[in-house]
């Protein structure tokens, strides 16, 4: 019977960048002779049958991969809820079952993922998984929810990092330092990434008719001036 790799995707978007990361990992595991199953936290949370299928998949898995976007400095709330349910309801992993994580953020600097990856490590310890490490990916906006194999040079470092990570976990080893470093490697300089990001924000604001509201702060609490009664 082939070993199984289960990926749990944390993004709420149907065709997300994280889902394409997970799909690439799954293809590498498949090349190693593994079975691959992928679930999204959003669907598992809303459909009891999908959550049951996730639990069944985990019951026979030798490796679990958590793949998600960074929300503020943590995991998306629905993703956290699914992990909390798994922690409470099981299943317990088999001896030596591996867990690793891939976190990607829209910031240019990959270091913003550090807190979220630490939470994944604690989740692995709490449930009894063997923690294999995490990849921190910056500049996630460059990948735009498209398959990595279609992205050419801009995904070359990330593809190599994912390949090395999947191969290591399939061999019951920790993520290699080379993979961790490659995942954080920048394809373009920060100033160029920020230029594209700011242009994209302006474009989307204009497309939705909100260009002149881009600096609005409707929920900021305005303190009354001293001596002025409400």
* Residue 226 scores a pLDDT above 70: no
Segment 56-85 mean pLDDT: 95
Q: How many CA atoms lie within 13 A of 43 on its CB side?
A: 14
6-20, 45-59, 103-117, 183-197: the lowest-pLDDT one? 183-197
Instruction: Flag whether 226 is in a domain.
Output: no
For residue 91, say if its preceding peptide bond is cis, omega within 30 degrees of 0. yes
Segment 113-137 mean pLDDT: 96
110 and 197, same domain (yes or no)? no
Q: What is the residue range of 212's domain? A: 188-221
137 and 106, same domain (yes or no)? yes
Instruction: Flag whether 193 is in a domain.
Output: yes
* Residue 171 scores a pLDDT above 70: yes
Instruction: Flag whether 166 is in a domain.
Output: yes
In terms of Cα–Cα distance, which of 173, 95, 90 is closest to 133?
Answer: 173
Reported confidence tier of residue 15, pLDDT bands at 50, 70, 90? confident
Number of domains within the chain: 2
Q: pTM above the 0.85 mark?
A: yes
Instruction: Flag whether 14 is in a domain.
Output: yes
112 and 50, same domain (yes or no)? yes
pLDDT digits (tens, 9 = 90+) for 150-161: 888 888 999 999
210 and 136, same domain (yes or no)? no
The CATH number given to whatever domain includes residue 161 is: 3.40.50.360
Segment 119-139 mean pLDDT: 96
174 and 210, same domain (yes or no)? no
Reported confidence tier of residue 71, pLDDT bands at 50, 70, 90? very high
Instruction: Flag whether 105 is in a domain.
Output: yes
Instruction: Flag whether 229 is in a domain.
Output: no
21 and 123, same domain (yes or no)? yes
Instruction: Return the pLDDT at 154.
Output: 83
Q: Please, are residues 34 and 27 in contact by the beta-carbon 8 Å criterion?
A: no
Rounded to 5 degrees, φ, ψ at 99 are -135, 135
Reported confidence tier of residue 202, pLDDT bands at 50, 70, 90? confident
Instruction: Flag whether 227 is in a domain.
Output: no
Tokens for 28, please give them.
Answer: 């590498």
160 and 51, same domain (yes or no)? yes
DSSP conformation class of 90:
-
Tell me the C-alpha distance between 37 and 58, whole Å.
9
């Amino acid at each position: 019977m082939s070993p199984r790799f289960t990926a749990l995707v944390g993004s709420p978007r149907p065709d997300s960048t994280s889902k394409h990361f997970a799909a690439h990992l799954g293809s590498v595991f498949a090349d190693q002779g593994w079975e691959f199953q992928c679930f999204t936290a959003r669907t598992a949370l809303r459909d009891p049958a999908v959550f049951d299928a996730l639990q069944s998949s985990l019951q026979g898995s030798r490796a679990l991969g958590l793949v998600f976007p960074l929300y503020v400095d943590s995991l998306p709330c629905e993703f956290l809820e699914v992990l909390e349910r798994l922690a409470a309801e099981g299943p317990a992993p088999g001896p030596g079952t591996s867990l690793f994580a891939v976190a990607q953020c829209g910031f240019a600097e990959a270091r913003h993922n550090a807190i979220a990856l630490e939470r994944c490590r604690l989740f692995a310890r709490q449930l009894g998984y063997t923690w294999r490490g995490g990849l921190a990916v910056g500049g996630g906006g460059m990948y735009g929810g498209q398959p990595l194999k279609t992205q050419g040079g801009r995904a070359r470092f990330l593809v190599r990092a994912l390949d090395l990570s999947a191969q290591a976990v399939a061999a019951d080893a920790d993520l290699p330092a080379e993979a961790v470093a490659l995942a954080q490697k920048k394809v373009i300089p920060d100033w160029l990434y920020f230029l594209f990001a700011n242009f994209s924000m302006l474009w989307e604001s204009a497309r939705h008719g909100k260009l002149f509201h881009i600096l609005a702060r409707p929920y900021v609490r305005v303190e009354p001036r001293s001596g002025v009664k409400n």
